[in-house]
Amino acid sequence: MAYSEEIRRRRTFAIVSHPDAGKTTLTEKLLLFGGAIHLAGAVKSNKIRKTATSDWMDIEKQRGISVATSVMAFDYAGHKINILDTPGHQDFAEDTFRTLTAVDSVIIVIDIAKGVEAQTRKLMEVCRMRKTPVIVFVNKLDREGKDPFDLLDEIEEELSIKVRPLSWPIDMGRRFRGVYNIYEEKLDLYTPSKQYVTESIEIKDISSPELEEHIDARLAGRLRADLELIEGVYPRLDAGTYLRGDVAPVFFGSALNNFGVRELLDCFLSIAPPPRPVVAVERTVDPEEESFSGFVFKIHANMDPNHRSCIAFVKVCSGRFERNAAYRHVRLDRLMRFSSPTAFMAQKKETLDEAFAGDIVGLPDTGNFKIGDTLTSGEELHFQGLPSFSPEMFKYIENADPMKAKQLAKGIEQLMDEGVAQLFTNRFNGRKIIGTVGQLQFEVIQYRLLHEYGARCKWEPLSLYKACWIESDNAAALDNFMKRKTQYMALDREGRDVYLADSAYVLTMAQQDFPGIRFHFSSEF
């Protein structure tokens, strides 16, 4: 297959949503259609011992939530598909934001009963900022929920994007009879089955009296009226407006019951973009360039606890990545070879010999990589847009077992490399401070330190408002500020100065009293 054809057959996308909208379940069913797995795991079922493929960490299995982005690749209908299943919980939003820099399109999952929720709005902001094309999947049609037309209005208003339904439900809850696939002009009737792919019955012509053989006349009449209204109200799907991120196609279904998922996948493959150009500081990089380039968007510690291995996830932006070839690590300015790059199916990984633009490659990391690092065939390139945001919750971390000091230090170092939390060292007393955007992260860190590194930690409360990175062109002004704020100064892992403000008022006053100091609320400046 020609080089450019390999690139054009790739589809790299993220599945995002508010917690519990069914994102991980949808991922499972997409894998099922791709033949990547043969039995889907119910994410929260006690009766089914198999857990979701993408939720492979112990803590994810226990809680039934995703706490880390999973990468899964498979082939389907002549396409190479790379799915990134992201955490929905807002405490892990930073991981999701960074993942969105590595994808070419996004599927947003919305619960028919709950509608658009807070986290969905935030994620849509990131998509809009990056002009990422979005498809909406309205999930849980097998439960009672909002009127579909009301929900479409809510999506348009809350997410500030025009919508175009490409499938339409026939009732919902216990009365749910199926969906009409507007995109393919056929009817799919609902056959609930949670564990195996089931065939659906097709009826090509919606005006055919055959429709009444499968659903009663009342539902058939209502469906025809709804479709007529859709054609009159919503603009026909135009590929250009979708690719620019102006219009979101909408599908309805039930991921748990494996319904409406294949229609979503087939349409997605035909309209979603192949790898797109990526903007670097120096220039725009085209995916079909021959020279290789890629960036690290995520680091995962302990994917194999037996070997304490870290994996750096690299999004290939251009060219072809080859095993054992020498590539330049731009930040370290040195050549590196990788003898065992991997392709992923969540935790399972296999060695790959080559990868093309759009693919996600896992590289073994012994401390050489940081989030945002660039690898190239030799060119000086820097891909931006992967900042660490200012944490909003802080705690001192202390060793609860003096015999395991080394394990604790190693665990903290590797978990901080993942970028889900940040480590600061207080300049005044030398104590270690962990900063996060949510309480749940502290629990995950404590759990993983104990179960993956055998190290016990304890937390001590610390009342702070925000951490901000500071800099100044005036060395005397910076020195004066640091002397005045000695107790509230810290260093991050890069050795940069960080001011730990204990209240919004104090931070505002500091900004007014020290006009020569620049305060940054993300690490990318």
Residues 393-520: name the CATH superfamily.
Answer: Peptide chain release factor 3, domain III (3.30.70.3280)
- The total of other beta-carbon atoms located within 10 Å of residue 217's CB is 10
The CATH code of domain 278-376 reads 3.40.50.300
CATH 3.40.50.300 for the 3-271 domain, yes or no:
yes
Residues of the chain with CATH 3.40.50.300: 3-271, 278-376
- Spell out the per-residue pLDDT of the chain, length 525, in tens: 467 888 899 999 888 888 788 877 888 888 887 665 444 443 333 333 344 444 434 544 444 444 345 678 888 888 988 888 766 445 455 667 777 888 899 999 999 999 988 778 878 887 888 889 999 999 999 889 999 999 999 999 999 999 999 999 988 888 888 888 888 888 777 766 654 445 566 677 777 777 777 778 888 888 888 988 998 889 888 888 999 989 999 999 988 888 888 888 888 998 999 999 988 888 999 999 999 999 998 887 765 555 556 788 899 999 999 999 999 999 999 999 999 888 865 446 678 889 999 998 988 888 888 888 899 998 999 887 666 667 888 999 999 998 999 999 988 988 887 777 889 999 989 999 999 877 778 888 888 888 888 899 999 999 999 999 999 999 999 999 999 999 999 999 889 999 999 999 999 999 999 999 999 887 764
Distance CA 124, CA 141 (A): 22
Residue intervals in the chain for CATH 3.30.70.3280:
393-520
Q: Give the DSSP H/E element, type plus range, for residue 410.
A: helix 405-417
Which CA distances in Å does 275 have to 69, 132, 134, 157, 383?
20, 12, 15, 30, 16
What's the whole-model pTM score? 0.78
For residue 342, what are the β-bridge partners? 351, 362
**In the Cβ-directed half-sphere of 147, how many Cα atoms lie within 13 Å?**
4
